[in-house]
Amino acid sequence: MKETKQRFKVPVLQAKNMKIIVALLLVLLTLLTFAMLRDTDTLITHQQANALYSNNKIEKVIVDGEYIHLKTSDAGYKIYKDAINKTAFFSKYPVEVYEGNSIMYALLLLLLLVASFIFLFRFVKQNRLQQLKHIRATSKAENESHNEPVQALTSSVTFKDVAGIKDVKEELEEIIDFLKEPQKYRDLDIRLPKGVLLVGPPGVGKTLISKAVAGEANVPFFYQSGASFVQIYVGMGAKRVSELFKKAKQMAPSIIFIDEIDAVGKSRGEQRNDEREATLNQLLTEMDGFEDSSGVIIIGATNKVEMLDEALLRAGRFDRRIHISLPDLEDRMQTLELYLAHKPNKVNIEKVARMTVGFNSAALDTLTNEAAIFAMREGRTVVETSDFESVKEKVLEGKRKILSFTEEEREIQAVYQGAKAVIATWLDVEFDKIGIVNTRLLIQEHEILSKSQLLSRLKMYLAGSIATKMHYNEQFTNAATDIVQAREIVSKVIYTYAMGDNFMVNSQQEEDLLRDSAAEVSTLLKTLDKALQEVSAYLLEHENITAEECRVILRKIF
């Protein structure tokens, strides 16, 4: 604060000095011109003029407007020009005409004055603008730091306040334990991740779970949104990052939570943004700079992990990634239960959970609140299932981003995703869960994959659209992302890994591989039709199917 105020004073003083100098110069200039043009000659009569003429005292005659000036060696006189015999004077003495000159002088003076005023005016205006800019920038910077000082929050949120997402909680248990007793880990020289990246769509609880980690471990929580780093006054982003880390280290063990980290960590593409880059570099430096056992854990949240700068994801930075998907049926039931815990109700939670496919937890929160308001307006003291039905459309309208499936869409998804699950199980493609809403397949990643493993994956990605084509004799847009994946695998098999029949390859080989794989999936799906029907029904009922549950169904049939 002190520093900014001092910086702020400098231009004001300069402006004042400059104003005084320009004003003084103006006065000086005016005085000089007046002195030069000042008429000091004595007005005389024609007799006095004639006397001067006769006595040969005159050295020079000057014609100036209405007057004729007569200059002697020691004095100057003037007389109205019509009062004397001009021809006599002009022929006897050298003559000068000042008429035009004096006007020129006057004009020059005027011009000078106007120019000086314009200059002064501009200068003052510019200075004001600069001052204003300075004030704005300074106060903006001050405001920012006032609004969001690097301050630790004490979180009272615990895992009890976070419904569902059991696997996410489990993954974070180790971090909590480390934050509670860092010494235990230090003693055994155990390296823990410095950064955890929570990846998932908005409103699924990334912030909430991070606060819960802080609450559970009872450590300070530093919240910072990635966007605010970049928006602040130039040069402040990087400064703020270092302030944040400094404070967090001082208060370690602690958690730094950076929401929307993609705002800072977007990969450095063509569009350069110096402020963002400076901030990102500072973040990378800070993350590299502290030891693993410093006791500071950085949690970053993002929806767009693919857009993040690779440098951020490298070992020793955000090297642990945890995905949080939209809540499935089970999660939604638990979330609704939590939200209804203190509301007198007779709600069929399962029914509400079933009609809210695609809702995130934040939307479920709004829905529950709206349902309670509706019940109150109806004059009731108990919330009922019908209240949820009455307000669902309104909530959906307010949250346009929710992709809520209709019953028909759910059925299509069940066939589509069911086919993927069946083919994956049949061809031994490892996966955790396949669901109606969460199209993300949790495939286990391996360093080395065989050609047959790659082709099995390819077939799984093709299975959905082939199954819907068989069932509905129609193709649907829900296949888009899987088709992209399928194409990518084909391209890699042919070009990157050279797993085709020839080394010299062309697009025909890609086409052939896709066609052969699709034909194989078609035949397989016909054989596995009964299993597909069961799995689809299971998905409609439970929304998700695990690899194990799918195996059970297949074993039962074959």
What DSSP state is assigned to residue 273? -
State how far the Cα of 544 lies from the Cα of 52, in Å rounded to an integer.
125
State how far the Cα of 22 lies from the Cα of 116, in Å rounded to an integer.
8
Q: At what angle do helices 507-527 and 407-426 cross, to 10 degrees?
A: 100
Tell me the closest approach of the beta carbon of residue 164 to ligand ADP, in angstroms: 5
**331 vs 534 by CB, closer to ligand ADP:** 331
Structure tokens belonging to residue 75: 């004095």
State how far the Cα of 292 lies from the Cα of 466, in Å rounded to an integer.
49
Instruction: Looking at residues 199 to 258 of the shown chain, list those that interact with ligand ADP (rule: CB under 6 A).
Output: 202-208
Tell me the closest approach of the beta carbon of residue 510 to ligand ADP, in angstroms: 39
Which CA distances in Å does 389 have to 163, 177, 367? 22, 42, 10
Q: What is the three-class DSSP state of 297?
A: strand
**Residues near 169 by Cβ (< 8 Å), separated by ≥ 6?**
159, 162, 209
State how far the Cα of 148 lies from the Cα of 211, in Å rounded to an integer.
17
Q: What is the three-class DSSP state of 429?
A: coil
Tell me the closest approach of the beta carbon of residue 225 to ligand ADP, in angstroms: 10
* Alpha-carbon torsion, ordered 111, 113, 115, 121, to 10 deg: -150
State how far the Cα of 314 lies from the Cα of 374, in Å rounded to an integer.
50
Q: Does 371 engage in binding with ligand ADP (CB under 6 A)?
A: no
User: How many CA atoms within 13 Å lie on the side-chain side of 9?
Assistant: 5
Residue 105, classified by CB atoms within 10 Å of its CB into exposed (0-12), middle (13-18) or buried (19+), is middle
Question: Any alpha helices (H) in 473-545, and if so which ranges?
Answer: 480-491, 507-527, 529-542
Tell me the closest approach of the beta carbon of residue 199 to ligand ADP, in angstroms: 10
Tell me the closest approach of the beta carbon of residue 163 to ligand ADP, in angstroms: 4
Site size toward ligand ADP, by CB under 6 A: 17
Instruction: Looking at residues 480 to 519 of the shown chain, list those that interact with ligand ADP (rule: CB under 6 A).
Output: none
**278 vs 297 by CB, closer to ligand ADP:** 297
**128 vs 401 by CB, closer to ligand ADP:** 401
Tell me the closest approach of the beta carbon of residue 242 to ligand ADP, in angstroms: 25
Instruction: Looking at residues 137 to 166 of the shown chain, list those that interact with ligand ADP (rule: CB under 6 A).
Output: 162-165
**369 vs 385 by CB, closer to ligand ADP:** 369
Name the segment binding ligand ADP (CB under 6 A); options: 221-229, 342-350, 357-365, 407-415: 357-365
Q: What value, to the nearest 5°, has the Cα angle with vertex 166 and ends 162 and 171?
A: 105
Residue 544's φ and ψ, nearest 5 degrees, are -130, 155
Question: 383-384 and 76-80 as β-strands: parallel, antiparallel, unpaired?
Answer: unpaired
**204 vs 554 by CB, closer to ligand ADP:** 204
**392 vs 459 by CB, closer to ligand ADP:** 392
**194 vs 206 by CB, closer to ligand ADP:** 206
Options 224, 361, 413, 417; binder of ligand ADP; rule CB under 6 A: 361
Tell me the closest approach of the beta carbon of residue 339 to ligand ADP, in angstroms: 7
Shortest-Cβ-distance residue relative to ligand ADP: 205
**338 vs 395 by CB, closer to ligand ADP:** 338
**192 vs 340 by CB, closer to ligand ADP:** 340
**212 vs 553 by CB, closer to ligand ADP:** 212
Tell me the closest approach of the beta carbon of residue 440 to ligand ADP, in angstroms: 16
Options 362, 483, 514, 518; binder of ligand ADP; rule CB under 6 A: 362
**163 vs 402 by CB, closer to ligand ADP:** 163
Tell me the closest approach of the beta carbon of residue 548 to ligand ADP, in angstroms: 25
Tell me the closest approach of the beta carbon of residue 526 to ligand ADP, in angstroms: 41
Q: Does 301 engage in binding with ligand ADP (CB under 6 A)?
A: yes
Structure tokens belonging to residue 173: 């248990």
Q: Does 465 engage in binding with ligand ADP (CB under 6 A)?
A: no
**205 vs 226 by CB, closer to ligand ADP:** 205
Name the segment binding ligand ADP (CB under 6 A); options: 16-24, 30-38, 348-356, 358-366: 358-366
Task: Answer for the pair 459, 423: CB distance below 8 angstroms, yes or no.
Answer: yes
Tell me the closest approach of the beta carbon of residue 350 to ligand ADP, in angstroms: 17
Structure tokens belonging to residue 411: 């059925």
**165 vs 554 by CB, closer to ligand ADP:** 165
Tell me the closest approach of the beta carbon of residue 363 to ligand ADP, in angstroms: 8
Tell me the closest approach of the beta carbon of residue 273 to ligand ADP, in angstroms: 24
Percent composition of the chain: helix, strand, coil (DSSP 3-state, to 5): 60, 10, 25
**217 vs 415 by CB, closer to ligand ADP:** 217
In DSSP notation, 178-235 reads: HHH-HHHHHHTT----SEEEEE--TTSSHHHHHHHHHHHHT--EEEEEHHHHHHSSTT
Instruction: Looking at residues 374 to 413 of the shown chain, list those that interact with ligand ADP (rule: CB under 6 A).
Output: none
Tell me the closest approach of the beta carbon of residue 452 to ligand ADP, in angstroms: 38
Count H helices and E strands in the chain, helices first: 22, 14
Name the segment binding ligand ADP (CB under 6 A); options: 85-93, 238-246, 359-367, 549-557: 359-367
Mark 325-354 with x for binding to ligand ADP (rule: CB under 6 A) and - for no binding: ----------x--x----------------
State how far the Cα of 175 lies from the Cα of 196, in Å rounded to an integer.
9
Contacts to ligand ADP by CB under 6 A: 162-165, 202-208, 301, 335, 338, 361-362, 365
